[in-house]
Amino acid sequence: MGDMEDVESFRLRARAWLKENMPRVPERHGPPESGDDDQEWLRARELQKMLYAGGFAGICFPAEYGGLGLTPAHQRAFTEESRGYEMPLLLNVPTFSICAPTILDMGSEQQKRDRVSAAVRGDEVLVQFLSEPRGGSDLAGVITRATRDGDVWVLNGAKTWSTSAYAADYALCLARTDWDAPKHRGLTMFLVKVHQPGITLRRIKMVNGSTEFCEEFFDDVILPADSVVGEVNGGWAVASRQLVHERTAVGGGSPYVSGEGRANLHGPEYDFADLARRTGQTGDVAVRELIGEARMMRRVQEQLIDRVMSGLNSGQLPPPAASIIRLFHAETDWKNADIGVRIGGADVAAGAFGDHGGLDYGHYYLSRQGASLGGGSTEMSRNIISERILGMPREYAADRDVPFNQVSQGRT
Ligand SMILES: Cc1cc2nc3c(=O)[nH]c(=O)nc-3n(C[C@H](O)[C@H](O)[C@H](O)COP(=O)(O)OP(=O)(O)OC[C@H]3O[C@@H](n4cnc5c(N)ncnc54)[C@H](O)[C@@H]3O)c2cc1C
């Protein structure tokens, strides 16, 4: 800690470097990146390589894995300075905020050296293969199977809703490895090469036209023994860490993200005052109240993130508390989508504000449910808050402690 650069000198260095090296985002730029375009991914990798070459990549990642080993305060300072510059925002979720920290916490030394360093250098993108066609909330109920065959594992099954898997190199994939054990105890987490024989990847078209989400089918995919993350049959511990990072990321509290912005979250930037100006409603009291409400929510969200993150970092709050900011994110996102439509009125459907503007709010509104599902649904967040923070009774589970091969599946 002794010779760590102080935050203010880091900030000044970052300011000078950004000015010198990073391209500025044009004043009136388009909608946020959709995450379904090859060029956007190439650009994100390129920008990450620029950060790496300049010595500003992976600010909170340990130096031995390619990062700078600095504190969240250094990251915050850099993020503030980076406003207005192009940043590799697509890499923030899930690569930097979810997958890389999970590997740091639970992976082998080699996995950290290989995967975390490659991500920090801008060479690799990571994704999550968790949800399955049968359901994502019951994560411990996954039925994708990995079977040991001599030195390797053989993976069969299917995953879905994997954000931007098509553009990724490796996935953290949860699979069942012991069917005689109760559901939480027969799982193993694997690091899986996304593009390899036996994996068929299809893109899913969403209501807003995006094809960012993918589904994957595994037919006898061969995984080397060293692809296991953590312990064989200890995958639930890895998944639990991953979910904490995911809730923190979705809630807006991850220290591992560089740069700010709404990339990958499908929403326009919420400049409701600008929307009101463009629609000639700045004098309308009801519209002004909506703008005030949105600003108030934003302030409360910022304060809540600070409070929960400092509680988590100091150990005053238990890891499930990440669900509080995750839940508040969904509430804020819904509210913003609604406010956009209420201020924009019919124009949000007709796209009357040029290429980007009204229509963006319309698209955003159509897919606003995403904020209540991605990173675990809000119902599950409420369950976690009630059971694990407030100490209310656990939900009944018919499959608790029952060997998984004796649990009735689906309607049978
Ligand atoms: C933007 C976005 C990004 C995503 N990215 C990924 C990704 O990268 N990788 C990945 O693997 N998955 C991803 N997902 C999938 C996501 O994790 C799942 O959608 C989520 O876990 C919910 O699962 P489900 O959709 O199968 O709903 P289900 O589990 O079928 O649930 C349906 C409804 O029932 C409710 N419900 C279910 N069980 C309970 C319960 N016990 N108590 C109360 N209510 C309950 C749910 O909350 C929900 O409202 C993403 C989803 C979105 C929207």
What's 201's domain CATH number? 2.40.110.10
Bridging pattern class, strands 126-129 and 170-176: parallel
Residues 228 and 180 in one domain: yes
Instruction: Give residue for tokens 């900011």.
Output: 325
Atom 41 of ligand 1, nearest CA residue: 380
Residue 309 lies inside a defined structural domain of this protein: yes
Q: What is the pLDDT of residue 23?
A: 95
Position in ligand 1 atom list of the atom nearest CA 370: 53
- Of 139, 161, 210, the one to substitute when testing ligand 1's pocket (max ligand atoms within 8 A of C-beta) is 161
Residues 231 and 273 in one domain: no
* 246 C-alpha to ligand 1 centroid (Å): 13
Residue 246 lies inside a defined structural domain of this protein: no
* 372 C-alpha to ligand 1 centroid (Å): 9
Residue 150 lies inside a defined structural domain of this protein: yes
- Of 377, 386, 388, the one to substitute when testing ligand 1's pocket (max ligand atoms within 8 A of C-beta) is 377
Strand, helix or coil at 218?
strand
Residues 161 and 114 in one domain: no
Residue 40 lies inside a defined structural domain of this protein: yes
Residues 6 or more apart whose CB falls under 8 angstroms from that of 76 comprise: none
Range 196-202, long-range pairs (CB < 8 A, 24+ positions): 196/221, 197/221, 197/222, 198/155, 198/222, 201/165, 201/166
Give the span between the Cα atoms of 148 and 224, in whole angstroms.
10
Residue 180 lies inside a defined structural domain of this protein: yes
- Of 250, 373, 394, the one to substitute when testing ligand 1's pocket (max ligand atoms within 8 A of C-beta) is 373
* 106 C-alpha to ligand 1 centroid (Å): 24
Inter-residue contact 106 to 100 (CB < 8 Å): no
Instruction: Give residue for tokens 């519209």.
Output: 287
Q: What is the pLDDT of residue 410?
A: 67
Give the span between the Cα atoms of 322 and 252, in whole angstroms.
10
Residues 6 or more apart whose CB falls under 8 angstroms from that of 264 comprise: 32, 33, 35, 89, 90, 92, 93, 163, 164, 212
DSSP class of residue 139 equals G
Residues 274 and 365 in one domain: yes
Residues in the ligand 1 pocket, defined by CB under 6 Å:
94, 127-131, 135-137, 161-163, 370, 373-374, 376-377, 379-380, 383, 395
- Of 125, 131, 189, the one to substitute when testing ligand 1's pocket (max ligand atoms within 8 A of C-beta) is 131
Helices (H), 156-209: none
Residues 145 and 213 in one domain: yes
Q: What is the pLDDT of residue 354?
A: 59
Atom 43 of ligand 1, nearest CA residue: 379
* 23 C-alpha to ligand 1 centroid (Å): 37
Q: What is the pLDDT of residue 108?
A: 98
Q: Final residue of a domain: which of 193, 222, 239?
A: 239
Residues 231 and 288 in one domain: no
* 168 C-alpha to ligand 1 centroid (Å): 21
* 256 C-alpha to ligand 1 centroid (Å): 24
What's the total number of domains in the chain? 3
Residue-range definition of the domain harbouring residue 341: 267-389
* 380 C-alpha to ligand 1 centroid (Å): 9
Helices (H), 154-284: 235-251, 272-278
Inter-residue contact 290 to 342 (CB < 8 Å): yes
* 11 C-alpha to ligand 1 centroid (Å): 39
Residues 228 and 321 in one domain: no
Q: What is the pLDDT of residue 36?
A: 81
Which of 338, 395, 346 is CA-nearest to residue 371? 338
Give the span between the Cα atoms of 120 and 57, in whole angstroms.
6
Atom 48 of ligand 1, nearest CA residue: 377
pLDDT per residue rounded down to tens, the chain (412 residues) = 568 999 999 999 999 999 999 999 876 556 667 778 899 999 999 999 999 999 999 999 999 999 999 999 999 999 999 998 999 999 999 999 999 999 999 999 999 999 999 999 999 999 999 999 998 999 999 999 999 999 999 999 999 999 999 999 999 999 999 999 999 999 999 999 999 999 999 999 988 788 999 999 999 999 999 999 999 999 999 999 999 999 999 888 999 998 875 443 444 567 889 889 988 999 999 999 999 999 999 999 999 999 999 999 999 999 999 999 999 999 999 999 999 999 988 888 877 665 556 677 888 888 889 999 998 999 999 999 999 999 999 999 999 899 999 998 765 4
3-state helix, strand, coil in the chain (%, to 5): 50, 15, 35
Amino acid, single-letter form, for residue 412: T
* 170 C-alpha to ligand 1 centroid (Å): 22
Residues 60 and 141 in one domain: no
Partners of 155 in the β-ladder: 146, 221
Atom 9 of ligand 1, nearest CA residue: 162
Residue 262 lies inside a defined structural domain of this protein: no
* 377 C-alpha to ligand 1 centroid (Å): 5
Q: What is the pLDDT of residue 265?
A: 42
Residue 154 lies inside a defined structural domain of this protein: yes
What's 302's domain CATH number? 1.20.140.10
Q: What is the pLDDT of residue 180?
A: 97
Radius of gyration of the chain, Cα coordinates, nearest whole angstrom: 22
Residues 358 and 311 in one domain: yes
Residue 297 lies inside a defined structural domain of this protein: yes
Q: What is the pLDDT of residue 61?
A: 98
Residues 359 and 293 in one domain: yes
Q: What is the pLDDT of residue 264?
A: 37
Position in ligand 1 atom list of the atom nearest CA 165: 8
Residues 274 and 327 in one domain: yes
Residues 6 or more apart whose CB falls under 8 angstroms from that of 28 comprise: none
Position in ligand 1 atom list of the atom nearest CA 137: 29
Which of 327, 355, 268, 336 is CA-nearest to residue 298? 336
Residues 115 and 145 in one domain: no
Atom 15 of ligand 1, nearest CA residue: 161
* Global pTM exceeds 0.85: yes
Is the peptide bond prior to 94 cis by the omega test (within 30 degrees of 0)? Answer: yes
